[in-house]
Every structure is written in structure tokens, then in C-alpha cells.
Amino acid sequence: MERTPGSPGIAIGLIDGPVHVAHPGLEPTGLRPLGGSANCARSTSVACVHGTFVAGILHARRGGAAPAICPGCTVLVRSIFPEGDVRGFPTCEPEELALAIHECVRAGARVLNLSLGLLGTSPSGERALVSALDLAAHRGVLVVAASGNQGSIGGSALTRHPGVLPVVAADMHGRMIGVSNVGASVGRRGLAAPGHEVESLSPDGGTRTFGGTSVASPFVTGTIALLWSLFPTLPAARIRNAVARETVIRSSIIPPMLDAQAAWNALLNASSVRSTRRGASNLLAG
């Protein structure tokens, strides 16, 4: 965050609830609606509260109460949660999520933030979701998803997909919060990120405090967006490897903590090697 506010050329697909786009704490530029209006119709709805909170972590103005990780990035707001839904943790059908992923990929998103859970799975719904995630991976779009807040061991069609980075919530001492879902795929490919008593934007124009894996996910998403802003020519696989430290063999069902500094160092070294190789090739060609 000290090195860049993010680049408008790096688009984040925010598949979540609608956002209170007129909130004074949000960066006014860079928010783009997909599939209809991105704005809340009911500021008190669970969907609006959730969408505005997650948007604040990513796209609030720097210097305010919210984390404001990537205010210079473009955020594609794809509202997927109905505002009449009163459940505490936003969920959606796999087919709905698959459609939203397709729309974000077509719109040019480089990284998707999925702070959500799956309502249920059917063979056809799981096939649709896997196909959408396969498309994202093929197009070089990174997908970050909340592991879930049931405190269970296992996985879902979402977190088991090899193209997804699952995220668990941790406190400010780096200890995983017990509500986080864990499992083999989460431990092997995932990350832990801040998800306890995080302050971000509220649709009433102020702020509020939340926790959980929905809160942790945008910290990973925002880190990816900032790194890609600093190293725009590096491929998705290189960015992912640096952030998730996938060269390290893991045996635990609990993933390691996000380390943005280590990721930046790895990408800086990779970028330097590429530049050296290009220089050598040009010298030989000359």
C-alpha cells in the first residue's frame, strides 16, 4: 500500500451484494456496475451491508477508517445477493455464481473476490461452476474465495477447485479464528488473512466492525491487485505463486498467513531475472 494505490488497468470482480456507491468514504472513481445496478436499494439489507463493507476494504479512500487497500484499481461490482435475503452469511446457487464469474471474466476482471458461500450443489450446478472456474483459470483470472464460517473440516465445489485461493480468517496475532472452514484443499492452496474486528464502511454513511472469512478474502484480493499493478507484465501464475507461496509443500489443513512483503520480494526477483534474460538475448542477437 505504501508503494501504490493500485492501477485502473487492474480490475477486481467483486461478486457480492450491492454497494452504497454514494458513501463518502468510497473512492468515487473506479466503481463499475455489471449486470444491472451496483447501488443498494435498501441500505439496511444484509446484502447491502455486506457488499458495502467488502467494497470498503478494497476501494475506500486512503486515510479513512476502512483498510482502503486498492482505491486506484477498477472494481467491477456484480451484485449477486438479493436484498430481501435475511441470512447472516451471503449465499448463492452455483449456477448464479457461474453466471457472475462468466460476466466478470468477459468484462476484463483480473482477479475475482468471492466472499460468499454456496447455497447447495447439484450435479448440474457443480458442473456449471467448475466450467466457469475453468474459464477463469484459462483466461489468467485469479479467484479468491472465503472458505466459509461454519468451523468445519472439508471443502466445497468452490474451495476444492485448483484455480481457487481459499481464505481463512485470522486475528491480529496471526492465529486462525475458529469459525473458519479448513480442509486439505484450504491448507494446500489457501491463505489466512486479517478477519477479526476489521473496520470498514457501512451503508449508513459511517463504519462498522465485522469478522470472518468474508472479511479476510478481500485482503488477499487487494494484495494481488496491488502486486499486479506494480508488476503488470507478469503472468497470473507468477503472481499467484508469489502470493500463495505454492512452491512450499504443505501438509497442514490450516494455511499460512498472507505475507505481502515476501510476495513483493519474490516478484521483484522474478522481474529482475526476466529483465536480465531479455538483456542477454538482445546482446546475443546484436
Q: Residue 275's pLDDT band (boundaries 50, 70, 90)? A: low
Q: Residue 256's pLDDT band (boundaries 50, 70, 90)? A: very high
Asked if 177 contacts 148 with a C-beta cutoff of 8 angstroms, the reply is no
Please give the average per-residue pLDDT across 207-222, as a whole number. Answer: 97
Q: How many C-beta neighbours within 10 Å does residue 65 have?
A: 15
Q: What is the pLDDT of residues 28-51, one digit of tens each?
A: 899 999 987 789 999 999 999 999
**30: region left, alpha or beta (phi > 0 left; psi from -120 to 50 alpha):** left
183 or 90: which leads in pLDDT: 183
- Tell me the DSSP string of 62-91: TTSSS----TTSEEEEEE-S-TT---SS-E
Least confident of 195-209, 214-228, 240-254: 240-254
C-alpha–C-alpha distance, residues 209 and 232, integer Å: 33
* Structure confidence at residue 36 (pLDDT): 76
Closest residue by Cα to residue 256 from 181, 170, 198, 179: 170
Please give the average per-residue pLDDT across 225-252, as a whole number. Answer: 92
* Structure confidence at residue 181 (pLDDT): 96
Could you give the domains of the chain? 11-278 (3.40.50.200)
The label of the residue with cell 481459499 reads 166
Q: What is the pLDDT of residues 106-165, one digit of tens each?
A: 999 999 999 998 887 789 999 999 999 999 999 999 999 999 999 999 988 999 999 999
Q: Residue 67's pLDDT band (boundaries 50, 70, 90)? A: very high
Q: Residue 280's pLDDT band (boundaries 50, 70, 90)? A: very low
Please give the average per-residue pLDDT across 90-117, as a whole number. Answer: 95
Residue 57 has pLDDT above 90, yes or no: yes
> Cell numbers of 36, please?
444491472
Residue 222 has pLDDT above 50, yes or no: yes
Average pLDDT, the chain: 92
Between the alpha carbon of residue 64 and those of residues 7, 12, 40, 59, 206, the distances in Å are 20, 21, 22, 11, 11
Residue 248 has pLDDT above 90, yes or no: no
3-state helix, strand, coil in the chain (%, to 5): 35, 20, 45
Closest residue by Cα to residue 29 from 76, 72, 77, 89: 72
Please give the average per-residue pLDDT across 216-232, as a whole number. Answer: 98
Helix ranges (H only) for the chain are: 46-59, 94-106, 123-138, 184-189, 213-230, 236-244, 260-285
Q: Residue 15's pLDDT band (boundaries 50, 70, 90)? A: very high
Q: Residue 78's pLDDT band (boundaries 50, 70, 90)? A: very high
The model carries a pTM of 0.93
